[in-house]
């Protein structure tokens, strides 16, 4: 049986894509301000928690986590994960058309490959059917049978 | 000679931290995905028991908590890696390894039907992420 997604569920996947890439970018920017963290000074990681960019990145990643968990409750891990990669494409396109940065041929090739990869799984079933006796498939809450 | 050894150690450290980020991320992804599969459709749970019921169902799962612990380890490994390794290498390398690792782990532990289409997707995304770093 082919599991198709409702528009609402596609919106959840869109949230997965956008919050992950924006969160990673904010974290990266914050950590360049905090400076290098060495094994001898792991306490610097706690200092990083006071950086507003790091905090914003963490908030974004919390939004990612909520939408990611929701998606995992009705789709396979190998279906949801390529969606997160599509965020890289969004960042590359924003940097080209909004920030007017140069995007090399390598990056365009990378964008094409990721779009193809996401397209492969998006056209397939979103959830693997298991036998009802399989432990992974037994819902423990009010999820009903699949 | 000593400089070459130092550079080699540095490269080794770089890849150890990147692999650590990927391995802990894969463990976190597989554990949380397994937990969500056991819990069931969150949309249905929210419709029946409200947002509080959905949160309770998720947070009450030991497998989920173990997954979160792995993700937290991955997060701090990523922070550590980003402070020592260029983001243009660390982010796509750890992401690519995580994609491939997840495809293997999902087939092995979650018994997902990772067919040719999904292997192709994992390979394409992996290569695409690497090209983006060029």
- Number of domains chain A is built from: 1
Answer whether A142 sits within 8 Å of B44, measured CB to CB. Answer: yes
Answer whether B125 sits within 8 Å of A118, measured CB to CB. Answer: yes
Q: Where are the domains of chain B?
A: 11-132
pLDDT band at B20 (very low <50, low <70, confident <90, very high): very high
Task: Give the number of beta-carbon pairs within 8 Å between A and B.
Answer: 187
A52 CB within 8 Å of a chain B CB: no
Residues of B with Cβ-Cβ distance to A5 under 8 angstroms:
none
Instruction: Report chain B's mean pLDDT, rounded to a whole number.
Output: 85
pLDDT at B60: 92
Q: Compute how many other C-beta atoms are within 10 angstroms of the C-beta atom of residue B74.
A: 22
State how far the Cα of A106 lies from the Cα of A108, in Å rounded to an integer. 6
Over 90: is that where the pLDDT of B31 sits?
A: yes
Mutate to test the interface with A, among B13, B36, B110 (most CBs of A within 10 A): B36
B43 CB within 8 Å of a chain A CB: yes
Answer whether B42 sits within 8 Å of A109, measured CB to CB. Answer: no
Q: Which member of A69, A118, A121 has the closest CB to residue B58?
A: A69
**pTM of the predicted structure, to 2 decimals:** 0.72
Q: Which member of A36, A78, A138 has the closest CB to residue B83?
A: A36
State how far the Cα of A138 lies from the Cα of A132, in Å rounded to an integer. 7
pLDDT at A39: 67
Q: Is the ipTM of this complex over 0.95?
A: no
Better-scored residue on pLDDT, A42 or A103? A103
Q: Which domain holds residue A65?
A: 7-137
Inter-residue contact A86 to A137 (CB < 8 Å): no
Task: Compute the nearest-CA separation of A71 from chain B (Å).
Answer: 9
In a domain, residue A145? The reply is: no
Please name the helix (run of DSSP H) or strand (run of DSSP E) that holds residue B75, with its range, or none: helix B62-84
* Token code pair at residue A132: 């009802």
pLDDT band at A107 (very low <50, low <70, confident <90, very high): confident
A32, A39, A56, A128: which is closest to B111 by C-alpha? A128
DSSP letter for each residue of A66-133: HHHHHHHTTS-HHHHHHHHHHHHHHHHHHHHHTS-----HHHHHHHHHHHHHHHHHHTS-SS----TT
Residues of A with Cβ-Cβ distance to B86 under 8 angstroms:
none
Inter-residue contact A61 to A27 (CB < 8 Å): yes
In a domain, residue A87? The reply is: yes
In a domain, residue A99? The reply is: yes
In a domain, residue A62? The reply is: yes
B61, B97, B70, B84: which is closest to B12 by C-alpha? B84
Task: Compute the nearest-CA separation of A119 from chain B (Å).
Answer: 8
In a domain, residue A1? The reply is: no
B84 CB within 8 Å of a chain A CB: yes
Q: Minimal Cα distance from B46: which residue of A? A: A142
Task: Compute the nearest-CA separation of A30 from chain B (Å).
Answer: 10
B100, B90, B89, B104: which is closest to B124 by C-alpha? B100
Average pLDDT over residues A89-114: 78
Answer whether A85 sits within 8 Å of B129, measured CB to CB. Answer: yes
A76 CB within 8 Å of a chain B CB: yes
């Amino acid at each position: 049986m082919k599991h198709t997604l409702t528009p609402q569920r596609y919106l959840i996947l869109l949230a997965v894509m956008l919050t992950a890439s924006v969160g990673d970018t904010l974290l990266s920017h914050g950590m360049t301000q905090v400076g290098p963290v060495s094994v001898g000074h792991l306490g610097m990681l706690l200092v990083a928690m006071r950086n507003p960019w790091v905090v914003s990145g963490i908030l974004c990643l919390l939004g990612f986590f909520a939408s990611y968990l929701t998606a995992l409750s009705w789709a396979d891990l190998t279906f949801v994960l390529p969606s997160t990669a599509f965020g890289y494409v969004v960042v590359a396109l924003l940097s080209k058309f909004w920030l007017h940065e140069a995007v090399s041929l390598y990056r365009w090739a990378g964008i094409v490959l990721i779009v193809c990869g996401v397209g492969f799984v998006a056209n397939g079933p979103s959830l693997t059917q298991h036998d009802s006796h399989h432990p992974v498939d037994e819902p423990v809450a009010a999820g009903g049978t699949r | 000679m000593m400089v070459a050894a130092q550079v080699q150690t540095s490269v080794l450290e770089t890849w150890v931290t990147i692999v650590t980020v990927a391995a802990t991320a894969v463990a976190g992804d597989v554990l949380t995905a397994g937990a969500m599969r056991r819990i069931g459709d969150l949309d249905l749970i929210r419709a029946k028991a409200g947002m509080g019921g959905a949160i309770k169902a998720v947070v009450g799962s030991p497998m989920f908590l173990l997954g979160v612990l792995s993700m937290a380890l991955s997060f701090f490994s990523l922070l550590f890696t980003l402070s020592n390794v260029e983001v243009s290498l660390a982010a796509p390398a750890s992401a690519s390894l995580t994609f491939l690792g997840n495809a293997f782990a999902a087939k092995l532990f979650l018994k997902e039907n990772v067919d040719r289409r999904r292997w192709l997707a994992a390979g394409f995304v992996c290569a695409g992420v690497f090209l983006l770093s060029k």
